[in-house]
Amino acid sequence: MQSRGPDAGGIFTQGLMAFGHRRLSILDLAPASQQPMIDNELGLGIVFNGCIYNFRDLKAELRGKGYRFFSEGDTEVILKAYHAWGPDCVRRFMGMFAFAIWERDSGRVVLARDRLGIKPLYYTEGSGFFRFASTLPALLAGGGVDRSLDPVALHHFFSFHAAVPAPRTVLNGVKKLSPGTLLTLEPDGTRKTERYWSFPTANAPRTGR
């Protein structure tokens, strides 16, 4: 993934959990915004892809709650927002994002994707492992992935101008998190999926014809 994140790279591991990240510096060029970002005071870690457009407003609100910041970008704002409001913090974010947050004390990992799925979040799983990445090739590089083609996904691919609706991908062994969705992974392997946003629709009025 170095081509997508040429500026820096980082790895953080603890126990059976590991986060890796390639950085493309945009909002904050300083080393303080390096990822994976770990906040030892709050006991949280994050890997994040995207941009939170209203992060300055959220940062001011969080400062009013007593939070202190060590960086100038939006990544740390997500960490503080998660600590302040829990997973519901995603409802406050305006922007495009895919991220994973790790809770040190509980061992829980929470994955989130923006409302329209602008930023990708792929995952694969097998006996004793769950891996995620922002690109499908990154997951394939780790091995152990069923590369057989999903015929339903191929039908979508050729019917919808190269689009495959989540959670499918063209490969049976790889899924993608649906837009506007949270996926919570517990240390014992159990999980919970929650849709925090969906596109509002209404029935068109009848014309009488």
Domains and CATH numbers, the chain: 1-121+178-198 (3.60.20.10), 124-176 (no CATH)
Residues 71-110: tens digit of each pLDDT: 999 999 999 999 999 999 999 999 999 999 999 999 999 9
What's the whole-number mean pLDDT along residues 149-153?
A: 95
Q: Is the pLDDT of residue 208 over 60?
A: no
Report the range of poorest mean pLDDT among 106-110, 134-138, 192-196. Answer: 134-138
CA distance 100 to 184: 10
Q: Mean pLDDT across the chain, nearest whole number?
A: 89
Spell out the long-range contacts of 96-100 with Cβ–Cβ below 8 A and sequence spacing 24 or more. Answer: 96/50, 96/51, 97/48, 97/49, 97/50, 97/51, 97/52, 98/48, 98/49, 98/50, 98/134, 98/177, 99/46, 99/47, 99/48, 99/49, 99/50, 100/19, 100/46, 100/47, 100/132
Residue pointed to by tokens 């940062």: 59
Cα separation, 13 vs 28, in Å, equals 24
Q: Give 86-97 pLDDT, tens digit per residue.
A: 999 999 999 999
Residue 204's pLDDT band, with cuts at 50, 70 and 90, is low
User: What pLDDT was estimated at residue 209?
Assistant: 44
Write the single-letter amino acid at 200.
P
pLDDT value at 68 more than 60: yes
Q: Which helix (H) or strand (E) holds 102?
A: strand 95-103
pLDDT (0 to 100) of residue 16: 87
pLDDT value at position 30? 63
- Tally Cβ neighbours within 10 Å of residue 14: 12
Residue 23 has pLDDT above 90, yes or no: no
With 70 as the cut, is the pLDDT of residue 53 above it?
A: yes
**Residue range 19-39: mean pLDDT, rounded:** 75
Q: Using 50, 70 and 90 to split pLDDT, how confident is the model at 202?
A: low
Q: What is the mean pLDDT of residues 21-33?
A: 67
Q: How far apart are CA 23 and CA 1, in angstroms?
A: 10
Percent of the chain at pLDDT > 90 equals: 69
Query: From edge to edge, which strands make up the β-sheet containing 129-133?
Result: 129-133, 122-126, 175-176
Is the separation of the CB atoms in 148 and 83 below 8 Å? no
Query: In this structure, how many other beta carbons lie within 10 angstroms of the beta carbon of residue 124?
Result: 21
179: pLDDT strictly greater than 50: yes
Q: What confidence score (pLDDT) does residue 21 get?
A: 84
Integer Cα distance of 36 and 18 in angstroms:
10
